[in-house]
């Protein structure tokens, strides 16, 4: 078996994939529809939208495939993303790269594979739309064009999902994206019995920045605060701009005392920024932190309300402080 080479732009490619916030999200009809269509058009048992992550391939949509991810080493798609056009394996048993691949000699007994790379809006090849069969098949030029057309549709759907869930200014998730990603992360924590926390931020006296320095400077302040958040939390944490000067972070697998330590680091980072940026104003914020408690929180909305109330208490105390 030949393990696929790593693409030359691997780090940027994986970063771009992670930024799309699509990995480990629930199935969506808009993608399932396209795999069903591919299966019907080509009369194959299996069609998959596969995304090649650093160590695994994860399936955003799948028909005829039971598992939702596989190791990258055995993945056909890792080979397909090295090319610009459709990759066809007519009979895996006769292909030196795949003849002894565990997915060929064992379940799901792949013989035929055709995969078309899927590109991100930034142009990185993130994965493929691919079809599989347990019998060898031929795939002509017309078939390749048709599969490529379907792959373009997957790309359009990915771009649409991204736009609808992203905040244009800061490039963080917007409220909708944040709620959907953190709801999903919360359900994983529930299932695995792991701790989680939600932090709710609201900038203090932000309106004054707009009023004194102009809206463009206000925008810059929001972008810089978003950057500091991104630099301080782990990649696995969900960060969002809920709107205006409100931000939230959902920390998974993080006990309460660790959350306090992370908030301490954040305070230091903001203080350093204020000291060094010399923009004529300071970034100030109030924050409410709430630990997930299965007895009182059912949904991410419950956690957000509790954290928002705590944030407001802090803001009020600060306003009233002499």
Residues of the shown chain interacting with ligand GTP in the complex, contacts defined by CB under 6 A:
169, 202-208, 210, 215, 218-219, 222, 244-245, 315
**198 contacts 300 by C-beta, under 8 angstroms:** yes
CB of 167 to ligand GTP, least distance (A): 9
Of 63 and 242, the one with the shorter C-beta distance to ligand GTP is 242
Q: Which residue is nearest to ligand GTP (CB)?
A: 218
- Kindly state the smallest distance separating residue 216's Cβ from ligand GTP, in Å: 7
Sign of torsion over alpha carbons 261, 263, 266, 268: negative
* Of 55, 83, 88, nearest in space to 69 by CA: 55
Q: Which is nearer to ligand GTP, 33 or 215 (CB)?
A: 215
> Smallest distance, Å, CB 319 to ligand GTP?
7
Give the ranges where the chain is alpha helix by DSSP (H): 10-19, 29-42, 77-80, 102-105, 141-165, 175-192, 206-213, 215-232, 256-277, 300-320
Q: What's the min distance (Å) between Cβ of 241 and ligand GTP?
A: 9
Yes or no: say if 132 and 147 are a contact pair by the CB < 8 Å rule: no
Min separation Cβ 239 and ligand GTP, Å: 17
Rg of the chain (C-alpha set): 23
Give CA–CA dist 277/281, Å, rounded: 9
The whole-angstrom separation of Cα 49 and Cα 128 is 6
**CB of 283 vs ligand GTP, minimal distance in Å:** 11
Closer to ligand GTP at the Cβ: 73 or 219?
219
Q: Encoding tokens for residue 60? A: 């955003």
Whole-angstrom Cα distance, residue 160 to residue 165? 9
Query: 162 phi and psi, to 5 degrees?
Result: -65, -45
End-to-end CA gap in the chain: 71
DSSP bridge pairs for 173: 166, 240
- Which CB, 42 or 225, lies closer to ligand GTP? 225
DSSP state of 173: B
The least distance separating ligand GTP from the CB of residue 231, rounded to whole angstroms, comes to: 21
By beta-carbon proximity to ligand GTP, the closer residue of 136 and 244 is 244
- Report the residue number, 112 or 285, with the smaller CB distance to ligand GTP: 285
Distance CA(269)–CA(16), nearest Å, equals: 25
Cβ proximity to ligand GTP: between 10 and 267 the closer is 267
Task: State the minimum distance, in angstroms, from the CB of residue 266 to ligand GTP.
Answer: 18
24/204 with CB nearer ligand GTP: 204
């Amino acid at each position: 078996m030949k393990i696929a080479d790593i693409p030359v732009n691997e780090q940027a490619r994986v970063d771009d994939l992670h930024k799309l916030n699509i990995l480990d999200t629930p199935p969506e009809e808009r993608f399932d529809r396209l795999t069903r269509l591919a299966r019907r058009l080509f009369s194959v048992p299996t069609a998959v939208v596969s995304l090649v992550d650093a160590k695994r391939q994860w399936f955003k949509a799948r028909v005829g495939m039971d598992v939702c991810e596989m190791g990258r080493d055995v993945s056909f798609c890792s080979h397909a993303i090295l090319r610009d056009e459709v990759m066809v394996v007519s009979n895996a048993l006769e292909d030196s790269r795949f003849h002894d691949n565990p997915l060929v000699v064992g379940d799901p007994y792949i013989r035929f594979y055709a995969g078309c790379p899927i590109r991100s809006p930034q142009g990185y090849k993130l994965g493929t739309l691919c079809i599989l069969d347990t019998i060898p098949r031929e795939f002509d030029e017309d078939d390749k064009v048709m599969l490529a057309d379907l792959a373009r549709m997957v790309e359009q759907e990915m771009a649409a999902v991204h736009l609808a869930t992203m905040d244009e200014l800061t490039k963080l998730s917007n409220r909708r994206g944040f709620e959907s990603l953190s709801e999903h992360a919360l359900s994983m924590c529930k299932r695995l019995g792991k701790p989680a926390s939600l932090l709710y931020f609201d900038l203090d006296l932000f309106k004054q920045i707009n009023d004194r320095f102009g809206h463009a400077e206000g925008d810059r302040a929001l972008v810089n605060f978003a950057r500091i958040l991104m630099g301080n939390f782990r990649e696995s944490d969900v960060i969002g701009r809920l709107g205006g000067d409100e931000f939230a972070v959902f920390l998974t697998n993080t006990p309460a005392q660790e959350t306090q330590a992370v908030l301490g680091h954040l305070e230091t980072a903001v203080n350093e920024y204020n000291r060094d940026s010399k923009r004529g104003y300071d970034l100030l914020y109030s924050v409410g932190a709430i630990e997930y408690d299965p007895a009182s929180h059912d949904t991410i909305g419950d956690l957000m309300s509790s954290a928002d109330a705590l944030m407001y208490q802090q803001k009020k105390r600060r306003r009233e402080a002499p």
